[in-house]
Structure 1
Amino acid sequence: MKPADLAIPKVIHQTWKSAELEQPFKSFQASWRLHHPEWEYRFWTDQDLDVLVQTHAPGLLQLYRDYPDPICRIDLARYLILHVHGGLYCDIDFECFQNVERLLDEAAFVIGLEPDSHASGNPKFSERGLSQVLSPAWMASTPGHPFMRQALDALPGTATQVDVLDRTGPFFLTRVFQEFAAQESIRLVSADLLHPFSSEACWDGVATDFLLWDEARAKAVAAHHWAGTWFRTPPRADHLRVPRRLDVRIGRPGHWSLQPVDISAELGSQHQPVISCLMVTRDRFEQARTAIACWQTQTWPAKEMVIVDDGDDNRLAEWIASTGDPDIRIIRLPDDGRTLGALRNIAVQKSRGTLVCQWDDDDLYHPLRLEIQCRALIATQSDACFLSMWMMWWPNAGRFAASRIHSWEGSVLAKKRKLPAYPELRRGEDTPAIRKLIANSKVIHLDQPSLYLYCVHGKNTWDNRHFESMWNEAVRHYEGRDAAAIKLKLQQMYPVLNDDFVYPAPQHRAKVSAWERLKRRFARLP
């Protein structure tokens, strides 16, 4: 073991133009603190970096300020941070999956390699004779390591390079490494541990797949998401990007086949069917308002919300009126004993869309839910689309699960004319209707659990034993730090899940006597 004074310091360095971060970078930043609670964390703004260069490299200050591309200043600064302070530097679009200490043990300098697919798919690599490239997006170093000193000394000589990759970036650093005499002092980390996703996978939306991300999380230490904020104009929200292709379960449950489907076709407004999202609610103002907020973030433009409310609390109707949104309609009904099935049928009857989608009042929804399900339905010319997996959240217990494979009734998006009437049942009303729909229609299922967050809050229609059974049947379970990591991932996707979000406490629904319901029913008679 080397002396303690030669160890890489336990400090994480990250930079951004200001102290304000948006998603997904905010969650990426939090992931490093989650997995390194005992490490120091140092966040550098552009102003901080200018002071750093003035103080520790005044001879490079003019070069630093003269760079026409801001990314070059960041490159110089990251090399200087490690030279002066040591520690771990990682870009703000790097997400942490595990504690990194096992990669740093007995090392003086550690850096990751870019994926092999970058070299094989980018002519810039072959033009420069590079078969592998070092990625300065993630580096760890002891203070004063000669590799960083050599990089800083080489920067003035590349100042006139046209391409920033050659001037200060990965190509530049790779050449410095090739010329570095003590290469044995540098530990190169394979791409599967730090760069499990290629830039193409991130930009095509592949890396947004929750199951793929979760598999990478189990194997890799961290992941670079290749946001490319320095050259992609405007910066793109890859964490909310519709993937070009999906694996779709085609056919009926038990007889389906998994097939790749391209869902990226351009859809003009004339090919965008109106989706009616149907909510049945009663005296759940805060929960319903949160579910509606999820609807408001949906990227699918042609949509409406139809709400059937048979409760006594008028706050939801008043709040909807205050929004002034003509696409949110509420039908107020007296609580005279209608079954949940009857209320769902009223919502269907009042809808105007050619497609209908169940939108329960106590669950949360990914902004891409409607768009991905609708695109998959259109691409496969199907009658209905279900999620075969969804996420489950126990807010009070702080745990999450990815459900078993199933035709989850609450996730249905279907052609209105194909949807059977719901039976007159107070609970479980959707199961018979969905079974009929599946038996008589062309249906597809998507293994996209992050599109739907089912919330188990203690006042659901079913009791706790039912949900414990669902927990036991789930294919993936998340508790403790694992659950905290999942919550950070969901915060990237769900705008409502901000740092201040607390799941609304469910109200105790006032019980209405049979006599009172009978009086209300007679009051409606002519």
Structure 2
Amino acid sequence: MIPKIIHQTAKNKKLSWEERMLRKRAMKLMPDYDFKLYDDQENRAIVAKHFPEYLSKYDNINKGVAKADVIRLIYMYLWGGYYCDTDYKWLASPDKFSLNECICILPISRGQKDNIECLGNAVFGSEPKIEFWKDFIDYLFQDSEISQLQENRIEKVTGPEGLTKFFLANRTKYPYITLPQSNMFHPRLKGVSALTDSSSIGIHHCWSSWRSGSFKDKLKIYIKRKITAIN
């Protein structure tokens, strides 16, 4: 059974107004879940306590978003539950679809079960101590690129594309992993809306606040954040 825990992380726990709105919404939808929020110092302490052999490599990761990619795997391995980004909007509790009865959930972001294009890492769930997470953690820390990531490589190494690559290369080792179709956790976005259906449990709004960009790009993201937080 997947524990009723929601893990999230933010640099210093100072969530934006939009992030607070989404978090409050989730808490109302899931009053029986334990909501956790970790900052950078707490994340480092978790690595130091539970993965001391990787602490120096963790400290050397040069992109904060890549550290966030790694620490969410550690939450899953240590405690299980669900991880979700702070720009993820829950539409329903996992209880609605009996998802907590699964062992490990990796939602498909693009593609189908027999032709996975990309798994999402903005949200996933698991029982604790599942070997998949430990194997992927070990795999990432063996990659020297993790300490010198360029922005355009983050998604390919520690992010969703890196997760997808590792899973597909080792899929037969993890027959217990459930792969929900994209419209359940990652319905397609169209402007500030999402093409949801009766199976949709949430929406990843993809604010991409960590990306660099022009003033125009940042203004678009700012407007998108405000609208999608209240829709």
Give yes or no for TM over 0.5: yes
Q: 1:197 Cα shift?
A: 3.0
Please give the alpha-carbon distance, in whole angstroms, between the structure 2 residues aligned to 1:85 and 1:170.
Answer: 21
Q: 1:219 Cα shift?
A: 4.5
Please give the alpha-carbon distance, in whole angstroms, between the structure 2 residues aligned to 1:108 and 1:21.
Answer: 30
Deviations 1:93-115 (A, max 9, x none): 10000111225242110021113
Give the corresponding residue for 1:173.
Answer: 163
Give the corresponding residue for 1:492.
Answer: 230
Give the corresponding residue for 1:104.
Answer: 99
Change in Cα spacing, 1:193 to 1:42, as seen in structure 2 (3 Å) is: same
Change in Cα spacing, 1:217 to 1:18, as seen in structure 2 (3 Å) is: farther
The one of 213, 224, 246 equivalent to 2:204 is: 224
Give the corresponding residue for 1:184.
Answer: 175
Q: 1:115 touches 1:196 (CA, 8 Å); kept in 2?
A: no
Please give the alpha-carbon distance, in whole angstroms, between the structure 2 residues aligned to 1:224 and 1:156.
Answer: 27
What one-letter code is carried by the residue in structure 2 that aligns with 1:240?
I
Aligned residue runs from structure 1 range 253-332, under 5 A: none
Deviations 1:215-252 (A, max 9, x none): 737551000001112224475564624xxxxxxxxxxx
Aligned residue runs from structure 1 range 363-402, under 5 A: none
What one-letter code is carried by the residue in structure 2 that aligns with 1:72?
A
Change in Cα spacing, 1:47 to 1:63, as seen in structure 2 (3 Å) is: same
Partner secondary structure for residue 18 of structure 1: coil
Partner secondary structure for residue 189 of structure 1: coil
Report the number of matched residues. 218
The one of 123, 148, 152 equivalent to 2:133 is: 148
What one-letter code is carried by the residue in structure 2 that aligns with 1:185?
Y
Partner secondary structure for residue 184 of structure 1: coil
Q: 1:71 Cα shift?
A: 1.1
Partner secondary structure for residue 132 of structure 1: strand
Identity of aligned residues (%): 22
Q: TM-score normalised to the size of structure 2?
A: 0.84
Partner secondary structure for residue 84 of structure 1: helix
Give the corresponding residue for 2:28.
Answer: 34
Is 1:59 paired with 2:39? no
Please give the alpha-carbon distance, in whole angstroms, between the structure 2 residues aligned to 1:144 and 1:84.
Answer: 6
Is 1:115 paired with 2:110? yes
CA RMSD in angstroms, aligned pairs only: 2.5
Partner secondary structure for residue 149 of structure 1: helix
Partner secondary structure for residue 44 of structure 2: helix
Give the corresponding residue for 1:71.
Answer: 65
Partner secondary structure for residue 24 of structure 2: helix
Aligned structure 1 segments of 4 or more residues deviating by more than 3 angstroms = 232-239
Please give the alpha-carbon distance, in whole angstroms, between the structure 2 residues aligned to 1:149 and 1:110.
Answer: 15
Q: TM-score normalised to the size of structure 1?
A: 0.39
Give the corresponding residue for 2:81.
Answer: 87
Q: 1:78 Cα shift?
A: 0.4
